[in-house]
Structure formats: C-alpha cells, structure tokens
Amino acid sequence: MRIRRCITLLSTLCTALAVAVPASAASASPTSPASADGLDHHAGSTLPSHEGTTSGPAPQPLAGVAGMDVSSHQGNVNWAAAWNAGARFAIVKATEGTGYRNPKYGQQYGGSYHAGMIRGAYHFALPNTSSGAAQANYFVDNGGGWKADGRTLPPALDIEYNPYGATCFGLSRAAMNAWIRDFSATVHARTGRYPMIYTATNWWRQCVGDSGSFGMKHPLWIARYSSSPGPLPAGWAAHTIWQYADRGRFPGDQNVFNGSPAQLRALAKG
C-alpha cells in the first residue's frame, strides 16, 4: 500500500510540474525571435555546416598582420599570452539582435586594448527580428562605438547564414539590401564611420545578390576556412580582414589583416 501511495504521489507531482513550467522555459525554440535574441552565435559559427568547410586549425598566412575575434565562448581571455603569441588586433562580439549583450565584453574589449592591441567590436545580425536601425542603435549603445584614437577599428556588422531558420532570414534580396543600408546609415550617423562588413561570399551572393553598392565605403571582413580568401562578393576588389580558421594559436577565430601594421593603424584612425 505504501509503495502504491508513493507512486501515485510522484505521478501527481510530475503532472503538476509539467503544467506549471511554460513550454518556452522547458524547451526554447531557436526559430523564435524571442529565444534567438537570448542565444549567442559568434562570427563564422554557421560556416562549417553550410559550406562544408573543415573546421579546425589552419596554417597562419605568410603576409599581413595576425589577429583574432572572440565572443563569450572564450570567457576571460589571457590577453598578454595572445599578444606574446603574435596577435596584434582583436574584434570582440558586443551584441546580437536587440536582446543579447556579451557578458564578457568588458574584459575582452578593454583587455585587448590594455595588452597593446588595436581592437574593435562586432554585431551579429538578425535581420528578421527588427530593423537595421534598431539593431545598429542597440549595437552602438552597448559597445559598438568608435573613437579616433588610432586603436579602435570601425564597428563591424556580422551578417551570415541564419542559425535559427531560413538561410536569408526570410528576406528578399531587395529587403536584405535595404536592411544593411539602414544599419550602415545608422552606425555612420552615430559614430562617423561606415561599418566593416563580415560575411561569406556564398551567403552574400544568395541573400544580397550582385549589388556592388557596399564595396566603396565598407571594409570587407571575409570568412573562408581555406588556404585563400577565394572569390569576393560583388563590389569589393580586395578584402581588408580574412577570417581563415575557427581555431589555432590564438583564442577564438584566427584572422589576418591584409596589409602592414601602419595600414592597420590607418584603418583605425579612419
């Protein structure tokens, strides 16, 4: 009898808990904008699954200035060690959508600067959840600013494969172009700099098209995990930064600036 009563009591308790816990808390859906804003994707996190690239260490390119990009996934970074290993610039994730801020942003953005690096911030775009202006303002308000100190890179827009659903976020090419222009114009109005654009050529061709309107004002941060940057999106004759691997001698993703240290400082100065 006692065993039966215990089983009945446990069954009743489990039923009550199932009713009390909302479905969103029990199982957050990555396709819903609310949960999407609360998750954390880093630059290039969508590349291996969409492009069939090999995720892993890659040889350091021979030319250029070595650097890295990080997000909350790297936690508290040992910036002195990264500097001693050869990193001379760092780009730090600040925000995603209009509901996520990197909790490690202060340690990463400030720490890279104090180690001697040129640093910058990037925003992971969710074009289907709010306007370009809304996300640009959220970004600038939460770390995506710029100052002419010669040590701060222009703010960067990370726009790539949708990790939560349709590849192009359900937007037409015309709508995607308009969204990026809206983001860019707002960042420029707030900071005086046009944002650097992080993307992958295949995604850009599919979702933005062959518009060459962004190449003149926006430095290109190209993502390709291979032995070369490969073909570039329309409008760009050359890349500014190449993210060539998602792991290596530095914490986070491995990058190289396409130029000299003096040219990197010139990009920072604007």
202-240 confidence digits (pLDDT tens): 999 999 998 889 999 999 999 998 888 999 999 999 999
Distance between CA 135 and CA 187 in Å, rounded? Answer: 10
Mean pLDDT of 106-127: 97
Distance between CA 146 and CA 81 in Å, rounded? Answer: 26
pLDDT band at 270 (very low <50, low <70, confident <90, very high): confident
Q: Which two tokens stand for residue 124?
A: 């992971």
Answer whether residue 5 is part of any domain: no
Q: Whose structure tokens read 């004002």?
A: 217
Q: 106-141 burial string, b = 16+ CB within 10 Å, else e?
A: ebbbebbbebebbbbbbbbbbbbbbebbebbbbbbe
Answer whether residue 130 is part of any domain: yes
- Catalytic annotation present for 246: no
Mean pLDDT of 171-178: 98
Answer whether residue 60 is part of any domain: yes
Distance between CA 10 and CA 18 in Å, rounded? Answer: 12
Distance between CA 211 and CA 91 in Å, rounded? Answer: 26
- Catalytic annotation present for 182: no
Which of 37, 96, 158, 253 is an active site residue? 158
- Catalytic annotation present for 158: yes
Domains held by the chain: number:
1
Of 1-10, 194-203, 229-238, which range is least confident?
A: 1-10
Burial (CB count within 10 angstroms: exposed 0-12, middle 13-18, buried 19+), residue 163: middle
Answer whether residue 14 is part of any domain: no
Residue 218 CB neighbours (<10 A): 22
Mean pLDDT of 42-53: 57
Answer whether residue 154 is part of any domain: yes
pLDDT band at 27 (very low <50, low <70, confident <90, very high): very low
Query: Do 130 and 36 touch, CB atoms closer than 8 A?
Result: no
Q: According to the per-residue pLDDT averaged within each range, which of 42-56, 118-132, 242-256 is highest?
A: 118-132
Answer whether residue 19 is part of any domain: no
Which of 69, 96, 246, 253 is an active site residue? 69
Answer whether residue 13 is part of any domain: no
Answer whether residue 97 is part of any domain: yes
CATH of the domain at 179: 3.20.20.80
pTM score, whole prediction: 0.82
Mean pLDDT of 176-180: 98
Distance between CA 5 and CA 126 in Å, rounded? Answer: 51
Instruction: Round the average pLDDT of the chain to a whole number and report it.
Output: 84
Mean pLDDT of 112-125: 98
Query: Do 203 and 197 touch, CB atoms closer than 8 A?
Result: no
Taking 60 as the threshold, does the pLDDT of residue 118 lie above it?
yes
Residue 270 contacts by C-beta under 8 Å, 6 or more apart in sequence? 146, 148, 154, 192, 193
Which of 37, 96, 160, 246 is an active site residue? 160
Which residues span the domain enclosing 174?
30-269
